[in-house]
Amino acid sequence: MKKIIPILAIAAVSLMLAVMPALGETTTTTPPIEIQATVTVTAVCGLSVDQTSLTFGNLLQGGTSSVLTRSADLTTNTPTTVTIAGVDWVGVNQAHTMSVGQTAYGVDVTPGTALTTSAATLFPSSSVNEQHSVGFQVAIPNPQPADTYSQTITIGFTC
Place 125 in a pLDDT band, splitting at 50, 70 and 90: confident
Q: Which amino acid is at 52?
A: T
Q: Is the pLDDT of residue 2 over 80?
A: no
Q: How far apart are CA 25 and CA 13, in angstroms?
A: 19
Span 21-46, average pLDDT: 83
Say how many C-beta atoms besides its own lie within 10 A of residue 127's C-beta.
Answer: 14
Span 81-106, average pLDDT: 97
Q: Taking all residues of the chain, what is their mean pLDDT, rounded to a whole number?
A: 85
- Residue 135: the pLDDT is 97
Q: Is the pLDDT of residue 36 over 70?
A: yes
- Residue 123: the pLDDT is 85
Span 27-46, average pLDDT: 89
128 within 8 A of 46, measured Cβ to Cβ: no
The DSSP annotation for 89-133 comes to EEESSTT-EE-GGGEEEEESS---EEP-SS-EEEEEEESS-EEEE
- Residue 105: the pLDDT is 97
Q: Is the pLDDT of residue 20 over 80?
A: no
Q: How far apart are CA 77 and CA 108, in angstroms?
A: 22
Tell me what percent of the residues of the chain surpass a pLDDT of 70.
83
Tell me what percent of the residues of the chain surpass a pLDDT of 90.
65
Neighbouring residues of 140: CB distance < 8 A, sequence distance ≥ 6: 59, 60, 61, 62, 63, 64, 98, 102
99 within 8 A of 88, measured Cβ to Cβ: yes
Span 41-63, average pLDDT: 94
Find residue 86's DSSP bridge partners. 153
Higher pLDDT, 117 or 28: 117
Give me the domains of the chain, ranges plus CATH numbers: 46-158 (2.60.40)
Query: What's the burial of 20, exposed, middle or buried (CB within 10 Å: 0-12/13-18/19+)?
Result: exposed
- Residue 54: the pLDDT is 96
Q: Is the pLDDT of residue 12 over 50?
A: no
Span 108-137, average pLDDT: 92
